[in-house]
């Protein structure tokens, strides 16, 4: 088949698959089995499920392919109803068998079959699904880190994934707002090139004039909200948010710990660390992001505002990238300098909650078959995040990328960019 660059695809496949293994380095089989809550899966499960995805959508039915273990079809299906039964999500941490070693052998088995398929020359549909599988695995690479941080957070020993010394912090540079005139603009992915179905079709939206902050809100700024009694004052909060604050006893972002009165530390992949006045606040819910914005006399941007500003900044060379997975720093970092009128942390450091609910674009169509369950069926009760984080693979990001989580979710690398 002509249109596919098989060599490039094979190299990219090898790179992405290798990266997953690299993330698991230094983790024991016990670490990889942890499941601290229903929403977060064990590392072992992520390593197996991404492999299952390739096996199910690319290899199954192909001449000569023999499944590694028929029983894995149910064990490592996540939510694809069209593919059949699934093992209950909250019990993923209860699978001591297959062992981590078994899962590694499974990965090798599927890697070899994929390599062979690529050597034989894939059909265009296979190449398409392989590419989807790569992006799917990159999504799970972010989840491997996100989930592991939560798993470790319940251990009183506070294990560090990648131990690091604390860094002295300095005041952040002032936050500035970049103006946009609005009007009829286009957002969404172009018809060609890889994108998830939920990023399409490209379409027109009408924007009122707006301004977007040129960097994320910092831990120091957020601490001022905490110290001002932000978590005790209902007027800053949406009703559901205030309910969460009271029901769940929220007093600060998810991984902040008050070790003495007014003395906070933050648990992260680098271990327990002091707060940094200049690093972006992370692991806040939509409710907290929204409450902070109201307290600060601002608001959260819509996803269309965010994407339009990003397109403009990228086109004009006024966008600075923040920390992404390849930087190997595994924690949000202070914003890098950016030209006047530019936007820092675009993408990078933290996902940024938007004021937009996750809904289909006008004319949205899901993919055919079980793969079509990828995005569309989640389009209710979630808010969109934009931007990417320190756990997002660089090659996985696009300006049109739509991430989405329920308004109360805090275990993602999620932060705050203000708008007016």
Binding flag, residue 247, a second copy (CB under 8 A)? no
Q: Which residue in 342, 337, 345, 347 sits closest to 317, CA to CA?
A: 342
**Binder to a second copy among 203, 251, 257, 365 (CB under 8 A)?**
203
Please tell me whether residue 1 binds a second copy under the rule CB under 8 A.
Answer: no
If one asks whether residue 29 binds a second copy (CB under 8 A), the answer comes out as yes
Instruction: Give the nearer residue to a second copy in terms of CB position, either 52 or 397.
Output: 52
Length of the chain: 420
Q: How far, CA to CA in Å, does 318 sit from each of 301, 303, 417?
A: 19, 19, 17
Binding of a second copy at residue 155 (CB under 8 A)? yes
| Residue 321 to residue 59: CA distance in whole angstroms | 37
Residue 348 contacts residue 293 (beta carbons within 8 Å): no
Q: What interhelical angle do 6-24 and 43-54 show, nearest 10? A: 160
* 348-to-22, 65, 325 alpha-carbon distances in Å: 20, 39, 9
Q: Are strands 263-268 and 271-274 parallel, antiparallel or unpaired?
A: antiparallel
Helix 124-153, helix 6-24: angle, nearest 10: 10
User: Which residue number, 274 or 408, has a Cβ lying nearer to a second copy?
Assistant: 408
- Other beta carbons less than 10 A from residue 261's beta carbon: 5
Among 81, 224, 263, 314, binds a second copy (CB under 8 A): 81
- Tokens representing 164 are 């690091």
Among 11, 15, 21, 91, binds a second copy (CB under 8 A): 91
**82 binding a second copy? (CB under 8 A):** yes
Total site size for a second copy, rule CB under 8 A: 63
Closest separation in Å from C-beta 243 to a second copy: 10
> Is residue 97 within the footprint of a second copy (CB under 8 A)?
yes
Q: Is 239 in the site for a second copy (CB under 8 A)?
A: yes
Supply the minimum distance, in Å, between the C-beta of residue 402 and a second copy: 14
Residue among 185 and 275 whose Cβ is closer to a second copy: 185
As given in the structure block, the two tokens for residue 313 are 């900044």
CA-CA distance, 328 to 330, in Å (whole number)? 6
> Per CB under 8 A, which region of 14-22, 90-98, 172-180, 326-334 contacts a second copy?
90-98
Residue in 163, 328, 337, 363 binding a second copy, rule: CB under 8 A: 363
CB nearer to a second copy: pick between 143 and 320: 143
Distance CA 139, CA 156 (A): 29
Can you tell me whether residue 282 is helix, strand or coil?
coil
DSSP category for residue 237: S
- Within 164-193, the residues that bind a second copy by CB under 8 A are 184
Q: Closer CB to a second copy, residue 179 or residue 240? A: 240
Residues that bind a second copy (CB under 8 A): 28-31, 33-36, 71, 74-75, 79, 81-82, 87, 91, 93-100, 151, 154-157, 159, 184, 203-208, 210, 234-235, 237-242, 286-287, 290, 355-357, 359-360, 362-363, 377-381, 383, 407
């Amino acid at each position: 088949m002509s249109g596919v660059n098989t060599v490039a695809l094979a190299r990219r496949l090898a790179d992405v698959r290798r990266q997953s293994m690299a993330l698991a380095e230094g983790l024991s089989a016990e670490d990889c089995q942890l499941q601290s809550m229903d929403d977060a899966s064990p590392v072992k499960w992520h390593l197996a499920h991404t492999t299952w995805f390739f096996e199910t959508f690319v290899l199954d039915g192909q001449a000569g392919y023999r499944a590694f273990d028929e029983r894995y079809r149910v064990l490592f299906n996540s939510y694809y109803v069209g593919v059949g039964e699934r093992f209950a999500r909250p019990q993923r941490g209860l699978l001591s068998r297959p062992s981590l070693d078994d899962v590694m052998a499974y990965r090798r088995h599927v890697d070899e079959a994929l390599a062979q398929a690529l050597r034989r020359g894939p059909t265009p549909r296979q190449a398409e699904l392989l590419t989807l599988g790569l992006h799917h695995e990159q999504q799970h690479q972010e989840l491997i880190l996100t989930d592991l941080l939560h798993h470790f957070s319940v251990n009183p020993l506070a294990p560090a994934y990648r131990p690091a010394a604390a860094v002295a912090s300095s005041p952040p540079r002032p936050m500035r707002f970049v103006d946009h005139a609005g009007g009829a603009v286009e957002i969404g992915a172009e018809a060609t090139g890889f994108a998830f179905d939920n990023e399409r079709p490209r379409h027109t939206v009408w924007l009122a004039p707006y301004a977007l902050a040129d960097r994320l809100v910092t831990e120091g700024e957020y601490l001022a909200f905490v110290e001002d009694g932000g978590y005790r004052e209902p007027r800053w909060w949406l009703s559901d948010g205030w309910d969460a604050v009271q029901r769940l006893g929220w007093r600060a972002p998810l991984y902040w710990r008050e070790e003495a009165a007014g003395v906070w530390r933050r648990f992260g992949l680098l271990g327990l660390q002091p707060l940094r006045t200049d690093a972006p606040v992370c692991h806040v819910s939509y409710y907290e992001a929204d409450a902070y914005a109201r307290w600060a006399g601002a608001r959260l941007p819509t996803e269309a505002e965010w994407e339009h500003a990003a397109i403009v900044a990228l086109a004009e060379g006024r966008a600075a990238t923040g920390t992404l997975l390849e930087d190997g720093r595994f924690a949000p970092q202070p914003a890098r300098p950016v030209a006047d009128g530019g936007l820092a942390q675009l993408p990078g450091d933290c996902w940024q909650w938007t004021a937009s609910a996750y809904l289909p674009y006008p004319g949205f169509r899901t993919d055919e078959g079980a793969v079509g369950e990828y995005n569309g069926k989640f389009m209710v009760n979630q808010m969109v995040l934009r931007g990417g984080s320190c756990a997002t693979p660089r090659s996985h990001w696009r300006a049109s990328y739509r991430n989405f989580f329920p308004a109360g979710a805090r275990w993602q690398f999620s932060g705050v960019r203000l708008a007016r």
